Structure 1
């Protein structure tokens, strides 16, 4: 591949891409969890949650593509296997969840985890003057904060 000359050093591009790889793993893990809950939710809020989870996993499917493409734009390989994602993610995975309230609680935690990942990577991108990656991170942060808020609202009595 030709040398990349986009005004960001190789070292900075690698550090940003590593952070984005963690964001990609968190986002993909949250996508899988949300899709799982969409399939398996039951109870009085079934329709509301089923549709809400579908909206959320559809948005996440687009997001993982955007994040992976940003990593590639920096000239780095984007992780793309379950093995890689499981090693990189900070999102808690559980396969024994059947209660809809617990599903919502886990999704709140997952979205908040993604926000924290974004916050950890953002200063690296900003210090390298990588506005494109910073824009991705800020956008993801805002969306996940809003989604966590909406999910938390479902938990109020």
Structure 2
């Protein structure tokens, strides 16, 4: 059935590309956070293990929101690891043998990278593509990433940030 929500098909497709890139970034960050949750060691093990779990759970919810928004626009939501790796603006990395401070620093960097990219995505959705709904969803996700980065930064001292 044709989607008739006041947006041109080409604009919906462009928003869909943005959403699929966000979806890919969210998956890369989800997998990295889950990996760190499983493999963190050291004196802050319990608190980081729990924080990583909170964050990957929050990312899972965000992933669902983004995919459902793509579908609401009549756009295919990517769902394979190959698509996520291909479309992600974040990069996977080897997670073996990392100390907890490196894990936290890597996640802070990724969350901050997502925030920067989301700012551009929000502006494009709202100003160029006329999709305030997606811009609003992405704004909420940006706020979540801001908070997750802050929570992680609190584990690091000022010199390492």
The answer to whether the superposition gives a TM-score over 0.5 is: yes
Does residue 131 (structure 1) correspond to residue 132 (structure 2)? The answer is yes
Task: Output the CA distance in 2 between the equivalents of 1:43 and 1:26.
Answer: 28
Q: Corresponding residue for 2:145?
A: 144
Task: Output the CA distance in 1 between the equivalents of 2:26 and 2:86.
Answer: 13
Q: Is the 8 A contact 1:15 1:124 kept in 2?
A: no
Output one character per residue of 1:97-135: Cα deviation in whole Å (capped at 9) or x when no partner: 421100001100111121122112112211233222011
Structure 1 length as normaliser, TM-score?
0.95
Structure 2 length as normaliser, TM-score?
0.92
Q: Corresponding residue for 2:121?
A: 121
How many equivalent residue pairs?
156
Q: Corresponding residue for 1:76?
A: 75
Aligned-pair distance for 1:92? 2.7
Q: Corresponding residue for 2:34?
A: 35
For structure 2, which runs of at least 5 residues remain unmatched after alignment?
none
Equivalent position SS for 2:154: helix
For structure 1, which runs of at least 5 residues remain unmatched after alignment?
none
Q: Corresponding residue for 1:110?
A: 110
RMSD: 1.2
Q: Corresponding residue for 2:156?
A: 155
